[in-house]
């Protein structure tokens, strides 16, 4: 049992270091700042197994003085994870004064470790430091989760299919870590069985490879520069009365007709990779102008504007008996969707029924 657990520990540690190197190298040159910070996160995460690796190599536990800087790096891991989320959701994110306040936390923790090193029998201080680490980790994980939810809403201003750029994989990591932490805590309180370490590490191997796979295949999230993004986000978040008219009301009406004709005749929504930028090029507007037109003229954002056409197309195909040989998912892909989950969620949101329910209602007519 011990040998298997040791092999798993080596696999986790080695995998995290390998993924760290790949993200820093970033061969496809996407999400540069975010990937760098996420690589640092993976490296700091790997140090949670460094003490066991050290024991396996030199056959004795690492000294307390050696482990203090490692403990500090481990303490910083949730903070580094939070910063990587910030750069994924906002590539031009800059550290503000309040961000530097987070550096006070590791200083406090460091002083606590020094005090504990001098008084190893101080169980109260040890408990306080453990609680401090757990609370800090939960705080930044929750804060990161909130940032991802905010990102999911904003990314719909720029893309018609968001499943590969909405950072759901990071959201799943947070959920998995929460679940694992809670399970380990409850298990330790009830059973205190050494086999738990093996189980936890096996689950961690799965999480690590999930993290590595998704971080490496993550596409470039934003195709616009900071100024363009901010203009579009500001346009979306302003109320109708507050909006600055970058297009006159008369132009809005004529462009609405032009955009509607473009959507119905050229059907650009059939392209699953359609973005605000590519549609703006088709209609010969800037992304900011197109965002303003869709937001002010059609009273919705880019994501829902495009996907209403896709859902309409799906309904047309499902209603036609000549397409009975096609699966619902096949029709969805033909209509511009590129994900089963996204398709089902979007269809139900727009139609108030699932694709299967709609097809069944058509068959009964």
Instruction: Say if residue 231 is in the same domain as residue 132.
Output: no
Q: Which two tokens stand for residue 57?
A: 């190599």
Instruction: Say if residue 73 is in the same domain as residue 181.
Output: yes
Whole-angstrom CA distances from 182 to 199, 226, 262 are 14, 39, 52
* pLDDT the model gives residue 36: 94
In whole angstroms, give the CA distance from residue 24 to residue 22.
6
Instruction: Say if residue 341 is in the same domain as residue 203.
Output: no
Q: Which two tokens stand for residue 154?
A: 């904003």
**What value does the mean pLDDT take over residues 67-93?**
90
Please name the residue ranges forming H helices in 155-167.
Answer: none
Four-point Cα dihedral 44, 56, 194, 134, nearest 10: -20
Whole-angstrom CA distances from 183 to 119, 199, 326 are 31, 11, 44
CA angle 218, 28, 207 (to 5 degrees): 35
* pLDDT the model gives residue 240: 47
Find the CATH number of the domain harbouring 238: 1.10.10.60
Instruction: Say if residue 44 is in the same domain as residue 145.
Output: yes
**In a 3-state reduction of DSSP, which class is residue 159?**
strand
User: Would you say residue 88 has pLDDT above 50?
Assistant: yes
| Torsion over CA: 344, 350, 354, 357 (sign) | negative
Q: How many domains does the chain have?
A: 2
**What value does the mean pLDDT take over residues 147-172?**
89
Instruction: Say if residue 95 is in the same domain as residue 41.
Output: yes
Instruction: Say if residue 357 is in the same domain as residue 263.
Output: yes
Q: Which residue has the higher pLDDT, 254 or 201?
A: 254
- Contact (CB, 8 A) for 151 and 89: yes
Instruction: Say if residue 205 is in the same domain as residue 312.
Output: no
Find the CATH number of the domain harbouring 46: 1.20.1070
Half-sphere exposure of 323 (CA within 13 A, CB side): 18
**What value does the mean pLDDT take over residues 273-282?**
90
- Contact (CB, 8 A) for 243 and 49: no
Q: Which of 20-24, 131-135, 223-227, 301-305 has the lowest mean pLDDT?
A: 223-227
End-of-domain residue from the set 217, 243, 276? 217
Q: How do residues 289-319 score in pLDDT, each as one tens digit?
A: 898 899 888 888 999 999 999 999 999 998 8
159 DSSP β-pair partners: 275
Instruction: Say if residue 210 is in the same domain as residue 345.
Output: no
Instruction: Say if residue 139 is in the same domain as residue 13.
Output: yes
Q: How do residues 101-146 score in pLDDT, each as one tens digit?
A: 788 888 888 888 888 888 777 788 888 888 888 889 899 999 999 9
Q: Best-predicted range by mean pLDDT among 3-12, 51-60, 257-266?
A: 257-266
Instruction: Say if residue 119 is in the same domain as residue 256.
Output: no
Q: How do residues 326-348 score in pLDDT, each as one tens digit?
A: 899 999 999 999 889 889 999 99
Placement of tokens 């999480």 in the chain: 207
End-of-domain residue from the set 217, 242, 263? 217
End-of-domain residue from the set 192, 217, 242? 217
Instruction: Say if residue 166 is in the same domain as residue 247.
Output: no
Instruction: Say if residue 249 is in the same domain as residue 296.
Output: yes
Question: Domain containing 183: what range?
Answer: 2-217
- The pTM of the full predicted model, rounded to 2 decimals, is 0.84
In whole angstroms, give the CA distance from residue 163 to residue 169.
10
């Amino acid at each position: 049992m011990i040998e298997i657990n040791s092999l798993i520990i080596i696999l986790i540690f080695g995998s995290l270091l390998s993924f760290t190197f790949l993200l820093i190298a970033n061969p496809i040159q996407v999400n540069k700042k975010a990937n760098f910070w996420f690589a640092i996160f993976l490296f700091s995460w790997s140090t949670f197994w460094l003490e066991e690796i050290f024991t396996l190599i030199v056959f004795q536990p690492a000294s307390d003085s050696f482990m203090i800087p490692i403990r500090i790096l481990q303490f910083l891991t949730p903070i580094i994870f939070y910063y990587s989320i910030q750069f994924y959701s906002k590539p031009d994110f800059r550290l503000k004064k309040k961000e530097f306040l987070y550096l006070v936390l590791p200083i406090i923790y460091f002083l606590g470790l020094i005090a504990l090193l001098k008084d190893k029998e101080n169980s109260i201080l040890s408990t306080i430091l453990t609680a401090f680490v757990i609370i800090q980790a939960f705080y930044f994980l929750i804060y990161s989760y909130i940032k991802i939810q905010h990102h999911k809403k904003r990314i719909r201003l720029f893309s018609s299919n968001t499943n590969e750029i909405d950072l759901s994989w990071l959201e799943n990591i947070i959920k998995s870590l929460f679940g694992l932490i809670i399970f380990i805590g409850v298990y330790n309180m009830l059973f205190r069985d050494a086999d738990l370490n093996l189980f936890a590490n096996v689950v961690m191997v799965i999480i690590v490879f999930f993290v590595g796979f998704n971080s490496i295949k993550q596409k470039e999230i934003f195709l616009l520069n900071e100024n363009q993004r901010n203009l579009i986000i500001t346009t979306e978040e302003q109320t109708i009365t507050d909006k600055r008219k970058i297009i006159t009301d008369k132009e809005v009406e004529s462009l609405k007709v032009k955009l509607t004709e473009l959507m119905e005749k050229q059907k650009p929504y059939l392209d699953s990779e359609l973005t605000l930028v590519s549609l703006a090029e088709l209609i010969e507007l800037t992304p900011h102008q197109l965002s303003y037109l869709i937001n002010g003229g059609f009273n919705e954002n880019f994501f829902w504007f495009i996907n209403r056409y896709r859902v309409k197309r799906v309904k047309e195909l499902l209603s036609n008996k000549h397409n009975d040989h096609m699966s619902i998912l096949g029709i969805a892909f033909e209509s511009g969707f590129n994900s089963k989950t996204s398709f089902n969620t979007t269809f139900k949101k727009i139609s108030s029924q699932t694709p299967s329910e709609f097809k069944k209602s058509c068959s009964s007519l």
